[in-house]
């Protein structure tokens, strides 16, 4: 009897919920470890932002400081002056990046979501092998293919065109994989079945029923594809200056030496702000999609 | 025609009456629209992912160089790789060191941090997630490390080491052989909390809370036991997904080394298999030889993935 009491006492209950086994020591330890890792991750990012607001003399102060004494927007102004001086109009670089990113992301979303629908909601011969190939493609890095891809793209006659960057991006598999897994768990077969009985075509079901149900997966696919294309810099496929990207142009500014380090810092901040803002807006949707990302053995 | 005669043309066909091939053909016709939907993606996927791997495998057995008619070489490219190419062997060693440090460490770090923040209030969790995830989506923001560790006295590391009197003159961090690997590993880890980290957070959120309560009732005493016996087995599919991504990324960080240390890095200290591939494929146009390198790298990644898959199916047992 007494022994049973002791056993019962160990279970702490708060608000009808069993309080889990959490020792204070563990809490403190975890907080310390989190703080250390957090600083390791955060400080360099913070330093990037701080650098962009330092006037030139503070950028080269000894020792370097983690705060700004007199913050200034001069670096951003310098960046825009440099932009207007460049040989190819700077707006062209920005247009290239935006164009490549928009086409690649939209196309990938359309093609991958159709494929995800077919793979997750229809049974047809060859389906399993297709999905196996797609999972296998996640297992190796695309650089393995860079040499042969160069040959393929030059054989297609796409060297030095937008196509060389956009078309291969349409077939990136990460977004497809996440979308397929998400559809499998979040689009109930019964709804599709009743739509089929009502005589809706598969395309119609895909577009009007399945797609609206997987909006979180869209956003995830978009950010996956977007961040790859947004950061695309100098490419082996592109020689013409007019077709090069914003990221490449920033590399050129950065290589301009000490006087340009302020403008360089400003441009880095602009480059990184875009994907981070997109992530902040969509964070909860993206995490929701990842809930079904698991791989079965 | 009598009433009971079977309409042989339109009666339902059972699977037993058909050969396997007829059945498959029938199913394919029935699902035409599925092929139409998956078709465009699969064609592009085939051309830009499957075909290159297959072509690499074929080219690797020849001396193709994009100019002359290729000759059949058998396995001699591979023999040259492993017996004569010292740079490649060094790159192999570097790649394996890099991968075996960054892969497991980034994986454990992602899992550990996801687990640590799991019980925090949602708002705080969102902020911490952002702090850890941001470096991996910010493109080449890792170049900040070349400012922090720049070779002159204005670099943060040099400045403080000099101010505190540990060194007299600035260290050329990314140009000194013994610092190249450790620094690049640190930078690679800094950018490595990516998609798998988010998958872990989501996986942890998806675990049914009643399982933890049942565990507490059944005598689980510490959170570590809970982690091993309840949490991890419940998120095994996410663990698998995260592992695949970590392995793939840990072999693909060559870009960071090039950006920070230049190409080739000093005395090949940070030379990896990817750099060899760049060297022979992109600059010397020895496609046959480069293909052999690509095939080796491909096989290493696939084998690693299979081994880890086997190991992960043992979690929580």
> Residue A154 is part of a domain; what is its CATH number?
1.10.3720.10
Q: What is the pTM of this model?
A: 0.84
Q: What percent of chain A has pLDDT over 90?
A: 6
CA distances from A280 to B15, B131, B195, B198 (A): 53, 11, 15, 13
ipTM given for this complex: 0.83
Looking at residue A162, the DSSP 8-state letter turns out to be T
Q: Do the chains contact at A170 and B41, CB–CB below 8 Å?
A: yes
The answer to whether A134 contacts B34, with C-beta atoms less than 8 Å apart, is no
Q: What is the mean pLDDT of chain A?
A: 81
Instruction: Give residue-wise pLDDT tens across range B77-104.
Output: 888 888 888 888 888 888 888 888 988 8
Say how many domains are in chain A. Answer: 1
The radius of gyration computed from the CA coordinates of chain B, to the nearest angstrom, equals 27
Question: What is the structure's pLDDT at A115?
Answer: 92
Give me the helix-helix angle, B51-59 and A146-155, nearest 10°: 110
Q: Which two tokens stand for residue A171?
A: 């077939």
Q: Is the model's pLDDT at A1 over the cut of 50?
A: no
Q: CB under 8 Å to B34, separation ≥6 — which residues?
A: A118, A122, A124, A127, A202
For residue A3, pLDDT beyond 80: no
Residue A9 has what pLDDT? 45
The answer as to whether A215 is a domain residue is: yes
Environment class of residue B266 by beta-carbon count within 10 Å: exposed (0-12), middle (13-18) or buried (19+)?
middle
Residues in chain A within 8 Å Cβ distance of B287 = 147-148, 151
- Beta-bridge partner residues of A19: A12
Indicate whether A45 belongs to any domain.
no
A127 contacts A169 by C-beta, under 8 angstroms: no
Ordered per-residue pLDDT tens for chain B, 317 residues: 445 555 555 556 666 777 888 888 888 888 888 888 888 999 999 999 899 999 888 888 888 877 777 778 778 888 888 888 888 888 888 888 888 898 889 999 999 899 888 878 888 888 989 999 988 888 778 878 887 887 777 777 877 787 787 777 777 777 777 888 888 888 888 988 888 888 888 888 888 888 888 887 787 777 788 888 888 888 888 888 888 888 888 887 777 888 787 777 777 777 888 888 888 877 777 888 888 888 988 998 899 888 888 888 777 66
Q: Where are the beta strands (DSSP E) in chain A?
A: 12-14, 17-19
Which of A48-57, A99-108, A256-265, B287-296 has the highest mean predicted lDDT (pLDDT)?
A: A99-108
In angstroms, the separation between the Cα of residue A124 and the nearest Cα of chain B is 6
Residue A214 domain-assigned (yes or no): yes
* Chain position carrying tokens 């505190």: B164
Beta-carbon separation of B132 and A147 below 8 A: no
List the domain range (segments joined by +) for residue A281: 81-290
Tell whether A52 is covered by a domain: no
Residue pointed to by tokens 């020689």? A239
CB contacts of B263 in chain A (<8 Å) are none
Query: B126 and A284: CB-CB below 8 Å?
Result: yes
Residue B190 tokens, joined: 């800094």
Comparing CA positions, the residue from A293, A117, A106 lying closest to residue A208 is A117
For helices A261-290 and B195-205, angle between their N-to-C axes, nearest 10 degrees: 30
Confidence band, pLDDT 50/70/90 cuts, at residue A11: low
Q: How many CB atoms are located within 10 Å of the residue A137 CB? A: 22
**Structural domains in chain B, sorted by start:** 1-60 (no CATH), 81-312 (1.10.3720.10)
Asked, for residue A70, whether it belongs to a domain, the answer is no
């Amino acid at each position: 009897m007494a022994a049973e009491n002791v056993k019962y006492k160990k279970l702490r209950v708060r608000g009808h919920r069993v309080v889990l086994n959490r020792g204070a020591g563990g809490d403190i330890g975890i907080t310390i470890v989190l703080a250390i890792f957090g600083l390791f991750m955060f400080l360099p990012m913070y330093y990037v932002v701080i650098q962009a607001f330092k006037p030139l003399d503070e950028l080269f102060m000894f020792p370097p400081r983690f705060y700004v004494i007199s913050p200034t927007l001069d670096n951003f102004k310098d960046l825009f002056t440099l932009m207007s001086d460049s040989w190819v109009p700077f707006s062209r670089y920005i247009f290239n990046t935006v164009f490549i990113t928009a086409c690649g992301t939209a196309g990938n979303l359309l093609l991958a979501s159709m494929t995800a629908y077919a793979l997750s909601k229809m049974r047809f011969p060859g389906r399993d092998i297709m999905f196996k190939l797609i999972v296998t493609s996640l297992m190796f890095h695309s650089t393995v293919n860079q040499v042969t891809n160069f040959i393929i793209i030059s054989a297609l006659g796409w060297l030095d065109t937008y196509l060389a960057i956009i078309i291969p991006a349409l077939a990136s598999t990460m977004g497809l994989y996440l979308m397929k897994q998400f559809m499998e768990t979040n689009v109930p077969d019964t709804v599709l079945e009743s739509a089929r009985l009502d005589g809706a075509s598969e395309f119609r079901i895909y577009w009007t029923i399945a797609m609206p149900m997987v909006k979180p997966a869209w956003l995830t696919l978009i950010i996956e594809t977007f961040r790859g294309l947004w950061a695309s810099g100098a490419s082996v496929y592109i020689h013409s200056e007019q077709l090069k990207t914003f990221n490449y142009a920033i590399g050129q500014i950065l290589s301009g030496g000490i006087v340009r380090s302020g403008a360089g810092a400003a441009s880095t901040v602009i480059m990184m702000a875009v994907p981070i803002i997109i992530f902040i807006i969509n964070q909860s949707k993206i995490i929701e999609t990842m809930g079904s990302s698991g791989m079965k053995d | 025609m009598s009433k009971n005669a079977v309409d042989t043309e339109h009666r339902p066909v059972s699977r037993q009456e058909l050969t396997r091939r007829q059945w498959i053909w029938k199913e394919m016709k029935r699902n035409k629209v599925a092929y139409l939907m998956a078709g465009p993606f699969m064609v592009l996927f085939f051309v830009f992912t499957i075909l290159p791997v297959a072509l690499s495998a074929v080219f690797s057995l020849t001396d193709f160089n994009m100019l002359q008619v290729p000759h059949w070489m058998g396995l001699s490219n591979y023999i040259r790789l492993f017996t004569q190419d010292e740079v490649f062997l060094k790159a192999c060693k570097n790649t394996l060191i890099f991968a075996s440090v960054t892969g497991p460490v980034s994986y454990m770090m992602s899992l550990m941090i996801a687990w640590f923040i799991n019980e925090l209030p949602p708002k705080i969790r969102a902020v911490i997630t952002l702090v850890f995830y941001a470096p991996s989506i910010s493109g080449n923001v890792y170049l900040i490390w070349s400012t922090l560790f720049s070779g002159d006295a204005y670099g943060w590391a040099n400045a403080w080491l000099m101010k505190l009197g540990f060194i007299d003159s600035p260290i050329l961090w990314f140009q000194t052989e013994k610092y190249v690997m450790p620094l690049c590993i640190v930078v690679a880890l800094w950018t490595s909390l990516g998609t798998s980290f988010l998958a872990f957070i989501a996986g942890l959120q998806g675990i049914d809370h009643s399982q933890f309560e049942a565990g507490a009732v059944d005598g689980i005493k510490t959170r570590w036991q809970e982690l091993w016996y309840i949490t991890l087995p419940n998120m095994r599919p996410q663990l698998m997904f995260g592992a695949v991504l970590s392995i793939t990324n840990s072999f693909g960080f060559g870009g960071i080394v090039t950006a920070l240390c230049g190409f080739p890095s000093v005395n090949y200290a940070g030379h990896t298999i990817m750099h060899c591939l760049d060297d022979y494929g992109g600059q010397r146009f020895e496609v046959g030889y480069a293909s052999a390198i690509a095939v080796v790298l491909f096989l290493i990644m696939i084998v690693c993935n299979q081994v880890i898959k086997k190991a992960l199916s043992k979690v929580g047992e």
